[in-house]
Structure formats: structure tokens, C-alpha cells
């Protein structure tokens, strides 16, 4: 047997057994088709694709050619992703789904559609951890949120950041546009460095390349998701983003290259830049700006932050993202001014409600809990 094929043979047996077990487990969930017909269809398709990959792997093994081993390894990687999505993500969520999660999923699906995520047909919710999303199946993403999220409006605006990740994965023009903004920005910066001797020029080139390399797809996805959440919810998300940073004593300008999230100072900055002028002048907009300025008044960004996450670059990222969302034409930008008219009900505009919720939290914290209760109850009737 050609070198490497023994490993592929073992993996083909292992993956086939795992995929068939997954298929049997999915078929044993009696309410899957009735409660989530779209998810049922997508998972069936994923199982079918995994079986096709296993068949391809077996054909490579039968040909007994070393030249095909790299392609076989690639198929193994694809199968491991299938297993992760099916067995480690969707299957546990479906097995444990409670009424509160189904209710939250219905709210999330309706909200996504209203915001412009028209391709999303059903959102599966797992109330077991921090806010996150697995957009591997774009029409039926898996949304994670903490268990308390079903019982309070606080932090609910975070789901719009997760919607941003879905948009980023679904829209190549948005990904490509942001990537191009970064490349063009830093190349212009490099060319405009003025007179430098050869050693200085080389050092400058290295710094620029490090800055370009910093903005990976993952970090661009995070910064876009902050912009998208602000675009769709206005001041409510601006406050939420600042609120993520203020409780911690860390320097919000610090760059951690092991973290896929950009520094909090950059994230809050793009939120603020994404607001319309009247939103920035709103009660929540002004109060959040005051709280953030108080938090950062004794802190300063390093030369690395000023290069990698400078104000001019963030301005261009916001302009490109907002322009892309506007050009696509289906995404609804939040327009301030109606929040005072919200009343409890299942059909309430959630973006308006969350802005009013934030205003109430900042203005009348003592009465907030009793104020939000009827809204939460009505949302999940």
C-alpha cells in the first residue's frame, strides 16, 4: 500500500462509523422535522455530503496512488468539520432544546428577517454559554446565549453582533471590501513615508506588513459585526460595546495578538463612528460617550495601536461597511425617534425596545426590573 494510505484507510472507517451514528441519532429525535423542518433538511444534506466525501476517500484508497494522499487528507479535514458541526454542535443543541430555547429561537429568527438576513430560515438556540454563533449552515445558524437571556432584555442586543457574523460569512463582497480597505490603506501609508534611508525604509515596510497581517479574516469579522450591530440597533449597541470594556481594568488600547477580537478601544470607536448624528446626540448616545470618555481619560494607545488600529483606518472600515450594507439594500438601518412609543407585545420592534431598555437602565435603574418584566413576558408568549 502506498505511503499514507494506511492512515486514510483508518480514517475512512472511523469517519463512516461516526457519520452513521450521527445519522441514527438525528433520526431518533421525534420532533426534529415538526419543530425545525428547515434544520432537518439542512442536516440531512450535511450527512449526505459527508457520505459522499467518505466515498471519495475510499476511491482514493482503492487507486493506491501516493500522489492522491494530499487530496485524501483534505477530505479527512472536511469530514472532521462535518463531525464538529453535526455531532458537537447541532446534535447536542437539538437533544436538549427546551421551550425557552425554542421561544428564543423564534424571536431571533423573526428579528434576523426584519433586519435583512432574508436567507435565514430558522435559528437554533442553545442557552448554555456566552453570546456566539456558528454560521456553518447559513440558512439555519446555531446561536448561543447565556441562560438568563430568555428572562431579561439586558445584553439581548448582543445577538445583533452575532447576526453580523452571519452576514460577513454570507456576503463575499463585504469581506473582500474590508480586506481591500486594509491593504490599500497600509500600502498608501507605506508609500507616503517621506524620505527614509534604506534601513528605515525596510523597517517601515516590516511594520506595515505586520499591520496588514494583524487584520485577519477573524478580526475583520469582529469589527464588521460591531459595525453591523450598531447599524441595526443604533445607540443600544454602542452602550453594550462600551459596557463590555468598562468593568475591566485592562487598557482598552492593548493589542493581544492571541485574541481574534481587536482592542476594545477600536471596537467602541467603530460603534461610535457608525452612529447617525442624531443617534450620537440622543440621550443614550451622549451618556455612553461620557461614560467611555471617563473610562479612557487616563489611558493612551501605543504606537502599535496607532498604526494598526488608527482612527483614519477605522473611519475607512466604517465607511466601507456602511456603504456595503446600503448597497446591498436589504439591511435595515436603525432610525431613532420612536423608542418612547414602544408597548409590550410579541410584534414589538425589538430594536426600538432595546434602545428604550438602555435608556431606562441608565436613567431609572431602580425601576428597571419592574419596567422590563411585561416586555419580556410579551416577547415570549
Clarify whether residues 264 and 321 are in a common domain: yes
Under DSSP, is residue 145 helix (H, G, I), strand (E, B) or coil?
A: strand
Q: Is residue 57 within 8 Å of residue 72, measured between CB atoms?
A: yes
Report pLDDT digits (tens) over 184-233.
999 888 776 666 667 777 788 898 999 999 999 999 999 999 999 999 99
Of 41, 70, 96, the domain-final residue: 96
Clarify whether residues 363 and 316 are in a common domain: no
Clarify whether residues 307 and 195 are in a common domain: yes
Clarify whether residues 318 and 174 are in a common domain: yes
Find the domain containing 265 and state its range. 163-328
252: alpha, beta or left? (left if phi > 0; alpha if psi -120 to 50): alpha
pLDDT of residue 194: 62
Clarify whether residues 362 and 309 are in a common domain: no
Clarify whether residues 263 and 364 are in a common domain: no
Clarify whether residues 64 and 170 are in a common domain: no
pTM for the structure as a whole: 0.94
CA distance 327 to 137: 24
Residues of the chain with pLDDT under 70: 1-2, 192-197, 336-340
Q: Is residue 173 part of a domain?
A: yes
Q: Is residue 97 within 8 Å of residue 33, measured between CB atoms?
A: no
Q: Is residue 133 part of a domain?
A: no
Clarify whether residues 168 and 290 are in a common domain: yes
Q: Is residue 213 within 8 Å of residue 336, measured between CB atoms?
A: no
DSSP state of 67: G
**CA terminus-to-terminus distance, the chain:** 62
* Residues 6+ positions from 5 with CB-CB distance below 8 Å: 60, 61, 64, 66, 69, 72
Q: Is residue 339 within 8 Å of residue 356, measured between CB atoms?
A: yes
Grid cell of 157 as nine digits: 442586543
Clarify whether residues 343 and 316 are in a common domain: no
Domain count, the chain: 3
CA distance 296 to 285: 17
CB atoms within 10 A of CB 228: 29
Q: Is residue 264 part of a domain?
A: yes
pLDDT of residue 193: 61
Clarify whether residues 201 and 314 are in a common domain: yes
Clarify whether residues 185 and 88 are in a common domain: no
Clarify whether residues 92 and 171 are in a common domain: no
Distance of CA 364 to the CA centre of its chain: 31
pLDDT of residue 210: 92
Report pLDDT digits (tens) over 311-365.
999 999 999 999 999 999 899 999 865 445 788 887 889 999 999 999 999 999 9
Q: Is residue 310 within 8 Å of residue 262, measured between CB atoms?
A: no
Q: Which of 236, 216, 230 is nearest to 360 (CA)?
A: 236
Write down the H helix ranges in the chain: 5-27, 32-35, 37-63, 69-83, 91-96, 99-115, 158-170, 172-191, 198-214, 217-233, 235-245, 264-274, 277-280, 283-296, 303-308, 311-328, 350-363, 368-379
Amino acid at each position: 500500500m502506498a505511503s499514507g494510505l494506511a492512515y486514510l484507510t483508518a480514517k475512512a472507517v472511523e469517519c463512516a462509523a461516526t457519520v452513521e451514528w450521527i445519522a441514527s441519532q438525528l433520526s431518533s429525535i421525534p420532533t426534529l422535522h415538526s419543530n425545525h423542518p428547515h434544520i432537518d433538511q439542512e442536516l440531512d444534506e450535511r450527512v449526505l455530503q459527508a457520505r459522499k466525501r467518505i466515498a471519495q476517500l475510499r476511491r482514493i484508497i482503492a487507486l493506491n496512488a501516493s500522489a492522491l494522499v494530499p487530496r485524501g487528507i483534505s477530505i479527512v479535514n472536511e469530514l472532521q468539520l462535518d463531525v464538529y458541526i453535526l455531532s458537537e454542535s447541532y446534535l447536542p443543541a437539538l437533544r436538549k432544546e427546551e421551550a425557552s430555547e425554542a421561544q428564543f429561537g423564534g424571536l431571533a429568527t423573526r428579528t434576523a428577517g426584519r433586519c435583512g438576513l432574508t436567507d435565514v430560515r430558522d435559528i437554533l438556540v442553545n442557552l448554555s454559554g456566552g453570546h456566539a454563533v456558528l454560521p456553518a449552515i447559513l440558512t439555519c445558524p446555531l446561536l448561543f446565549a447565556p441562560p438568563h437571556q430568555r428572562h431579561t432584555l439586558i445584553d439581548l442586543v448582543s445577538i445583533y453582533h452575532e447576526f453580523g457574523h452571519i452576514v460577513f460569512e454570507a456576503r463575499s463582497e463585504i469581506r473582500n471590501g474590508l480586506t481591500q480597505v486594509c491593504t490599500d490603506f497600509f500600502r498608501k501609508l507605506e508609500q507616503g513615508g517621506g524620505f527614509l534611508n534604506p534601513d528605515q525604509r525596510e523597517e517601515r515596510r516590516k511594520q506595515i506588513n505586520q499591520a496588514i497581517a494583524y487584520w485577519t479574516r477573524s478580526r475583520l469579522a469582529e469589527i464588521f459585526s460591531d459595525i453591523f450591530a450598531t447599524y441595526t440597533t443604533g445607540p443600544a449597541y454602542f452602550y453594550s460595546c462600551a459596557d463590555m470594556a468598562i468593568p475591566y481594568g485592562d487598557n482598552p488600547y492593548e493589542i493581544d495578538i492571541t485574541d481574534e477580537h481587536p482592542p476594545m478601544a477600536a471596537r467602541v470607536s467603530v460603534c461610535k463612528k457608525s452612529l447617525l448624528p442624531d443617534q450620537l446626540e440622543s440621550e443614550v448616545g451622549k451618556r455612553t460617550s461620557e461614560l467611555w470618555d471617563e473610562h479612557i481619560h487616563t489611558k493612551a494607545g501605543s504606537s502599535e495601536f496607532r498604526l494598526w488600529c488608527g482612527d483614519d483606518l477605522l473611519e475607512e472600515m466604517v465607511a466601507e461597511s456602511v456603504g456595503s450594507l446600503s448597497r446591498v439594500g436589504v439591511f435595515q438601518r436603525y432610525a431613532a425617534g420612536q423608542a418612547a412609543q414602544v408597548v409590550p407585545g410579541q410584534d414589538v420592534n425589538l430594536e426600538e425596545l432595546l434602545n428604550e431598555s438602555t435608556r431606562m437602565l441608565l436613567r431609572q435603574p431602580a425601576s428597571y426590573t419592574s419596567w422590563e418584566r411585561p416586555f419580556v413576558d410579551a416577547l415570549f408568549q
